[in-house]
Structure 1
Amino acid sequence: MKRCNWANINELMKNYHDNEWAKPIYEDKIFFEFLILESMQAGLSWDIVLKKRENFRVAFDNFDYQKIASYGKNKIDELMKNKGIIRNQLKIKAAINNAKQFIEIIKQYNSFSKYIWSFVNNKPIINELKSDKDILSSSLLSDKISNELKKCGFKFVGTTIIYSFLQATGIINDHINDCFVKNKY
């Protein structure tokens, strides 16, 4: 089976690639999970984040944005002591802030899913890529969404983070053309 080369690092990455990456999602909770994980990845490798994913799940109350929005100083202190996650205070505070903004978008659009999918008219973008070298790190779409999220008050949502977020959630399918997962979803 041919898969995207970036996934061949280890079994965890292969499993993520084969079963999650670029699979369209529509559940707000999963969107929020990836928003946290992608923002935590800034400056690090995705492999590091995946290895800590379950620790994040426990530390961040199963990615419950309602609970995270109410985190205060004590919870921030607790998270900063948690060696199982990425202990970056700016990223932790951004996760709390983003939970609040996420809730506001849900109030306005009835779901974050409806909001984010509206940028692509509810249809995934399937890029034609011959190799991993053709995969972009940003696009006009990620620029636009990044700017819109920033206007809404989100933090750690630069265009590269958002492009990765769009790939992770299946809004953009960047599997290379001969990857066995390309047309799976």
Structure 2
Amino acid sequence: MLRIGITGGIGSGKSVVARLFATLGVPVYDSDSRAKWVMATDLVLREQLQAAFGVEAYDGDGQLNRPYLAKVAFHDAAQLARLNALVHPRVGADFAAWTAAQQAAGYAYILKEAALLYESGAYRTLDGIITVFAPADVRAARVLRRDAHRTAADVQAIMGKQLSEEEKLARADYVVYNDDSQLVLPQVLALDAGFRMGNK
């Protein structure tokens, strides 16, 4: 079973492309939502996060205190690295268990969707990487239309923490262009056909 990563900068349309694959019956591991689930349910990780960031990392009901963690870690590179060093291994273990279940079910390939595939090192566990590409100005405009709570400065800050599109393109095995220059679905269908034949 092939393990294919799919990544792209904020506003690239990575999640939309992943949903197209899912519509074709491909199992998709959404790293962002799974990470939130692991952080909420993994008792070992809960203890680690509270030891590292204080009991405030979880609220009185035992739920992850995301606003608190974002305030503590997002704008501090050292704290963000500390957070990722705790979370990424636990999410990696969850992905390994999920992948084993998909393989046992007989799927030809699976997708792992993640904005930070390269930054986290997760790309090393995969057989190939799809980058969903759109220029920075197009991505920024999409995010501002989609997320009313974000400012242009917010979007630029997020982009600044992600690998550049040029670097992602250089390292990608496959590219889906979502820059309004061509249709996305035919690109997805072509990749799907290849992966089902075991091409990587």
| TM-score between the two structures when normalised by the length of structure 2 | 0.26
Higher RCO structure, 1 or 2 (CA under 8 Å, sep 6+): 2
| TM-score between the two structures when normalised by the length of structure 1 | 0.28
Q: Which has the higher strand share?
A: 2
Larger radius of gyration: 2
